[in-house]
Structures are given as C-alpha cells and as structure tokens.
Structure 1
Amino acid sequence: MSKHKPAGNKNLAFKSDSKTIHVFVALCDNKYQGIVPVPEKIGNGQDPDNNLYWGCAFGVRTYFKNSKEWKFLESRKFNSEKLERIIFKHATKNYYLVADAYDGKFIKESTLDFLSSSSGKAKDTLKIGKTTIGIGGNSKLLAYVGHDGLMDFQLNESFENTDKQKRDVIILACYSKKYFSPHLAKANVNPLVWTTGLMSPEAYTLHDAISGYLLNETNEQVRTRAAKAYSKYQKCSEKAAKNLLVSGN
C-alpha cells in the first residue's frame, strides 16, 4: 500500500487570470522501470540533466527551452521524489507551463500525482515573483510523459472528480488509453491525446499538441498536430502516427 500523499491540498480554492499547464515527467529509468533498456547515460532516472525525457535534446526541459513559443523563467531543484521543477511563460498567451521531473524510481508517485490532479483531488499553487499560479488540479491542462507504469503496478486509489470541472489531459506513454482510462473513468477529463500502442514520449509531440491547444483548436486538430510532429521525428507515416495518437474517450 502506497504511503504517498498526492501533492497539493484538495481544499485549496484558487482563482487567477493566468492559466497553467502542468506536466508530470517520470524520468526514464533502466533500473527501476519495466522498460526495454536504453543507453545507460540517458536511462539513469536519478540524473535529470542527461535523461532521455528531460535533459536530452528531445526531453521536456531542453525542447521547451529551445522553443520560441515559451520563455524560460526558472528552475527549482528538489531532493525528494521530484528532482527538478521548471517554469515557463508563453510568449503571447497568458499561460504558464510548469514541468516536474520525478526520480524514475518514483514513477508510481508521479502517476498518482497526475491522476489526483486530473480529477481535482490534488490542487496547489505556486509563486513566481509576485504572481501566484495554480498547479495540480488548479491547472487547465495536465500532461503525463514517460513509461506507462500502470503496466507494472496496481493502484488502489480512486480518482473521482471532486469539483465538476472538466480538465484537459495529454498522456504520452505506451498504451496509455488502455491503462489510464479505467482510472480516469470518473475523473471528468477531456483526453486531448493518448495512445493505442508503443510510443516514444519525447517532447515534440507534447509541444505541438500544446501549440494547437493554446489556439483553441478542437481535440481532432490538436491530435493531428501531435501526430504530424511524431511522424516527422519518428520517421513514420502520418497515418501510423494518427493510429497511435488518438483523442477522446
């Protein structure tokens, strides 16, 4: 039984003009995750700087730092389940993006935090200078990036929606629709992009899906952007990428 308490305070009411996208990244980890091993340097889940899903060229931190759409504000280091938090502000929209890198050993905790936030059970806030923004369940869009740990472990917790708010979600992990949908059945979420098969959850797919989301595109348009990015970088057909990356329940 997990003793992990999801991040945030479920009773925390919050209102702000600024909107937030909160990304939960489980660092790639050869040792602690049931994955096909990757090269040792990029598969160390305790080393964010060199990790496949964080510090590498197509990792969340590096890819978003190199994007003209996002302005990097700050990085905060932790010595806990989370190793680093990065904060961005969008170049033209009143949106913040907060991404958390979880030690790969704590993939279960990152999954719990994502699911608790998606249902509104876990809400929190964050101060950047004099600005307070909402994170967790106070975010408009929540994303999970990494290995699908639900293939390896069971969760006993339930994730029923707590506040009648519908949150948008993106889940970039292998077979994420199959494994995450039972847990999100009562969470009242809008799945923008999730997957039907094996995939590489690198940041270009997330980045381009978010670009469409911020233009108020439909689920189908957001999913098409994600598929085009995946097709380009993975050198597969757009049809194959669209079969893999799907939208809706």
Structure 2
Amino acid sequence: MLTVVLLSLLAVPPVEVEVFVPLCDNALIECGRPPAGNPRALETNLYWGAMYGAERFLSRAPGFKVVSRAPGPNDSAVLRELVLERTAAKGERPVRMRLRAYAGDAIDTALEDFLRAAAGASRADLLVWAGHDRLMDREPPRVDSPAGATPRPVVVLACMSEQYFGPVLKTLGSSPIALTRTMMAPEAYLLEALATTVARHGPTETTAMRTALVEAYARYQRISVRAAGSVFSKLPPSEAAPSRTMESTGTDI
C-alpha cells in the first residue's frame, strides 16, 4: 500500500492541451467535395473525419489513445468532444489533448470561446486553434479578460494567423507560441508534432515547436523545409537559435 501511495505522489501530471476545431464550411472557404465542407458532418469533414482530420488522424497515430469521445451539450455549437492521451517515452511527459469539434456554421462561437480561453478562462497549459482563420472575414469579437485570470499560451494553425490573430492575442495578454504567415492547411499531423514537442520540451518552447511544425508540414505536404519554413512566423531574434534541421541541412527555416 505504501508503495502505491508513493508512486502516485511521484506520478507526473500530463500537460493539458485544449484544441478548438471549427469544421470546414464550404459556405466560407473551399473545402473540397460537399461532404468535406458540410459544416456538421463529423465523419467526412475535412478538418475532423478526413484522412488528415483531427479525430481520424490522431486516434490512429502511434502513441495516442482515445480516452473519451462524447457529443457536445444539447443546443451547443460543440458537436463532439474527444480526449486523447499521448503515452510518454523515457524523458517525456504525458500529454492529454482535449479536442472540441465545433459546427462550421457556428465558427463565431468557436472563435469567441477560443479568445476567451486565451484570455484566461481556460486552465489548459496550451491552447490551439486548428481551422479557418475567421478573423480574415470579420472584425474581432469583444472578449473581456476574466478578473484575476492568467492569459494562456496559444498556437494558431490557420491561414496568416500572425497578421489576423496576432494583434488580438496581444490585447488579451496571451503569448503566441506559433503562428503562420501564409495560407496553409491546418491538418492533424501538425497536432501530432505539437503534442510530441510538448511532451519533450514543455508547452512554451517556441524554437522546438516551430522546428517540429515546419518539419511535419514539409514531410506531409511534400515540399522543402525552406518552403515549409516560410509558412510559419519567424522567431523573435532573442529566441532564434540554430535548430537540428538548420544545423544538419544548412537551410534557413
């Protein structure tokens, strides 16, 4: 009994990552065939049920296991909540990812929830937006920071998120860990790379995060590391350091 108690006290708590996934909506952007852009079709939607959609890809990814899968509350914009855990290898921390699939035609609700969470309404160690950059279409919603709350670090996997999300996050006091500079595909292999980086380096290591995202994007998009590097925001000079990829290839990413 004493051994069990000691082990439980020594257990490392998982890093908590909360992911907001508004489903792709053909009424807003070109998602592909009608099923891929049906804003409430979980099993076929580009960002959730397709080959590189969040649930389909991560639930089959090595080292990940589904902890729970449940529909969202009645009359909610959330269609499904999926909780996954990434098993920790030696020297890593376990990672728990809570993904919420929002109806694509309720993307404004998803946006408000994400910004409110970034302002401190969430207790997660890292927040992620993975979907269409809604701020390209509309003015930012008004979001008040909760009294006494601590703004959260965030990653925004969406087209040109540095330009559109960056200023809004700054006003909320949130710290961007990774943003983008160009049009891009917010696909789930980036979430896999993100989880691996968090497990090894923690949720706020910007250099490691950017390197992992660039490498994953290059591999799955079948483009050069240099081209993939142009997709993601550059690190501030104070944080920029030679990464493994840069050292081994001589390529500036």
Q: TM-score range by the shorter chain?
A: 0.7 to 0.9
3-state DSSP class of the match of 2:172?
coil
Cα distance in 2 for residues equivalent to 1:239 and 1:159: 39
Q: Which of 22, 33, 39 is the equivalent residue of 2:33?
A: 39
Q: Is the 8 A contact 1:159 1:186 kept in 2?
A: no
Cα distance in 1 for residues equivalent to 2:14 and 2:187: 27
Cα shift readout 1:128-153 (whole Å, capped 9, x = no counterpart): xxxxxxxxx11000000111111112
Q: Which of 66, 70, 73 is the equivalent residue of 2:64?
A: 70
Q: Which residue of 1 aligns with 2:16?
A: 20
The residue identity in structure 1 corresponding to 2:222 is K
RMSD: 2.0
The residue identity in structure 2 corresponding to 1:178 is Q
Query: Tell me, which stretches of 5 or more residues in structure 2 are unaligned?
Result: 1-11, 237-253
3-state DSSP class of the match of 1:99?
strand
Deviation at 1:39, TM superposition (A): 1.2
Q: Which residue of 2 aligns with 1:81?
A: 77
Q: 1:110-125, aligned counterparts within 5 Å?
A: 110-120=110-120, 122=121
Q: Which of 235, 238, 241 is the equivalent residue of 2:222?
A: 235
The residue identity in structure 2 corresponding to 1:224 is T
Q: Which has the higher helix share?
A: 2
Q: Is the 8 A contact 1:111 1:149 kept in 2?
A: yes
Deviation at 1:209, TM superposition (A): 2.1
TM-score, normalised relative to structure 2: 0.79
Q: Is the 8 A contact 1:21 1:96 kept in 2?
A: yes
Alignment size in residue pairs:
217
Identity across the alignment (%): 29
The residue identity in structure 2 corresponding to 1:138 is R
Query: Is 1:154–2:136 an aligned residue pair?
Result: no
Q: Which residue of 2 aligns with 1:90?
A: 86
3-state DSSP class of the match of 2:97?
strand
Q: Which residue of 2 aligns with 1:55?
A: 49
3-state DSSP class of the match of 1:214?
helix
The residue identity in structure 1 corresponding to 2:172 is A
Q: Which residue of 2 aligns with 1:201?
A: 186
Deviation at 1:51, TM superposition (A): 0.7
Q: Which residue of 1 aligns with 2:250?
A: none
Q: Which of 200, 225, 234 is the equivalent residue of 2:212?
A: 225
Q: 1:232 to 1:94 in 2, by over 3 A?
A: closer
Cα distance in 2 for residues equivalent to 1:170 and 1:158: 18
The residue identity in structure 1 corresponding to 2:109 is E
